[in-house]
Amino acid sequence: MPFKPPQASQPSLPACPTPLVQLARLVAKRTHAMPRQGVPHESTGPASGASNLPREAAMQGVSFTGDRTLDFVAVDDPTPAPNGVVLEIKASGLCGSDLKFYRAPRGGGLAALGFKDSGAPIIAGHEPCGVIAAIGREVDPRRHRVGDRVMVHHYHGCDVCEHCRTGWTQMCVDGPVVYGVTGNGAHAPYMQVPASTLVSLPDELSFSTGAAISCGTGTAYGALVRMNLSARDTVAIFGQGPVGLSATQLAAAMGARVIAVDTSAARATRATAFGATHTIVAGGGDASEGDPVAAIQALTGGRGVSCSLDTSGAAAGRSAAVRCAAAWGTVCFVGEGGQVTIDVSPEILRKQLTIIGSWTFSTVGQADCARFIADRGLPVDDLFTDRWTLDQAAEAYRVFDGQDTGKAVFLM
């Protein structure tokens, strides 16, 4: 693994384009020393003291090189664009969708999603959270300042089309940049983004909670909002990985009665600690638990649930989510990829079902999710079972690839 540790000498400064950036360099602090051993801890807030943006040696990020390999690659000096910022990354989550790129042959993950492979290495990581270290001259100081704690809405679009103007840049008609996939992401000490991608991180929330909100937890929140979930609902949530477990935690906080379903007994059991009222092991050996739909009917007086959510992306999970819904119920799919077969008349029409797809969240939805979590003090950090430093990336992804732990994060 050709990772060169940072050196102890003073950094040489990249050219300083604006007075604002000079100010940023005086305010932002960076030790350049990556922690190397033990369990990493999250730093608590914005850096302070006199220091500067990084020298070249610190600017190495993790890039997937195909077939379950990764490498540390150098990235350009992080000088902000006029309308951009440089973030000092404090937490960068590992997401199940990263495994698509990690496992595929080089470039194969991009091709599978219809993106062109430029051949240039891309820094991975699409759950960025950190502190603004430098700011471009055209960024309105009423919106962002050096030292602000922020998350990144991990897409950038044209800023002009209707989707971009409503905060749904992932739907940009020109095709978005997806950070960590087609643009350099957060598995690096620093990351450059346009200021329009930033979403404030409430003071009450940790950086790792911010990283979770930047993808899986925000996706769960967006789906529950799309379903208009309320305390009157019983919701069945299929899949208790990081997105499903987040949905369980958020739905319980919204007052709903939550039935958590997973094929893994361990994951289903874990959902209880996140607020699930009932747990069901789908396909379990016990006849009463083998068919989740029958078990859900039994828990709802034979009516089924008013809301169901599939986070698994598996055909069986999607089918069960439809079949367990009560008349006039709402079903939401967030799991990516694959297909499902539905017997339309009995399973949808006769039940007057509403079936919706929900793809991540807008910038506004991301901020709403963060505020909801902060106001209720939800322990989102409990999602994380593995905390790593960036130089442990090879081991972190090897373990994450095994899929027998919970969510993982790099802390810087």
Which positions lie near Zn ion, rule CB under 5 A?
95, 97, 157-158, 161, 164, 172, 215
Min dist. Cβ of residue 243 to Zn ion (A): 8
Looking at the Cβ atoms of 129 and 164, the one nearer to Zn ion is 164
Looking at the Cβ atoms of 18 and 97, the one nearer to Zn ion is 97
145-to-46, 88, 142 alpha-carbon distances in Å? 11, 13, 8
Min dist. Cβ of residue 162 to Zn ion (A): 8
Could you count the other beta carbons within 10 Å of the beta carbon of residue 37?
8
Q: Do 274 and 252 meet the contact criterion of CB atoms below 8 Å apart?
A: yes
Q: Do 237 and 261 meet the contact criterion of CB atoms below 8 Å apart?
A: yes
> Which is nearest to 361 in space by CA: 352, 350, 372?
372
| Cα–Cα distance measured from residue 397 to residue 388, given in angstroms and rounded to the nearest whole number | 10
Min dist. Cβ of residue 399 to Zn ion (A): 17
Q: Do 73 and 80 meet the contact criterion of CB atoms below 8 Å apart?
A: no
Min dist. Cβ of residue 94 to Zn ion (A): 9
Min dist. Cβ of residue 62 to Zn ion (A): 15
Q: Do 209 and 236 meet the contact criterion of CB atoms below 8 Å apart?
A: no
380-to-268, 373, 374 alpha-carbon distances in Å? 17, 8, 10
Looking at the Cβ atoms of 163 and 257, the one nearer to Zn ion is 163
Looking at the Cβ atoms of 133 and 186, the one nearer to Zn ion is 186
Min dist. Cβ of residue 333 to Zn ion (A): 16
Rounded to the nearest angstrom, the gap between the alpha carbon of residue 296 and the centroid of all alpha carbons in its chain is 29
Looking at the Cβ atoms of 359 and 372, the one nearer to Zn ion is 359
Looking at the Cβ atoms of 24 and 215, the one nearer to Zn ion is 215
| Cα–Cα distance measured from residue 153 to residue 364, given in angstroms and rounded to the nearest whole number | 10
> Which is nearest to 86 in space by CA: 17, 142, 38, 12?
17
The amino acid occupying position 19 is P
**Cβ-count burial of 228 within 10 angstroms (0-12 exposed, 13-18 middle, 19+ buried)?**
exposed
Could you count the other beta carbons within 10 Å of the beta carbon of residue 2?
7
Looking at the Cβ atoms of 97 and 269, the one nearer to Zn ion is 97
Q: Find residue 151's DSSP bridge partners.
A: 129, 199
Q: Find residue 126's DSSP bridge partners.
A: none
Min dist. Cβ of residue 70 to Zn ion (A): 17
Looking at the Cβ atoms of 215 and 260, the one nearer to Zn ion is 215
Min dist. Cβ of residue 348 to Zn ion (A): 29
| Cα–Cα distance measured from residue 206 to residue 212, given in angstroms and rounded to the nearest whole number | 10
State the number of CA atoms in the 13 A half-sphere of 191 facing the CB: 35
Q: Do 22 and 16 meet the contact criterion of CB atoms below 8 Å apart?
A: yes
Looking at the Cβ atoms of 243 and 320, the one nearer to Zn ion is 243
Min dist. Cβ of residue 215 to Zn ion (A): 3
Q: Is 25 helix (H, G, I), strand (E, B) or coil?
A: helix
Min dist. Cβ of residue 174 to Zn ion (A): 5
Looking at the Cβ atoms of 186 and 373, the one nearer to Zn ion is 186
| Cα–Cα distance measured from residue 143 to residue 139, given in angstroms and rounded to the nearest whole number | 8
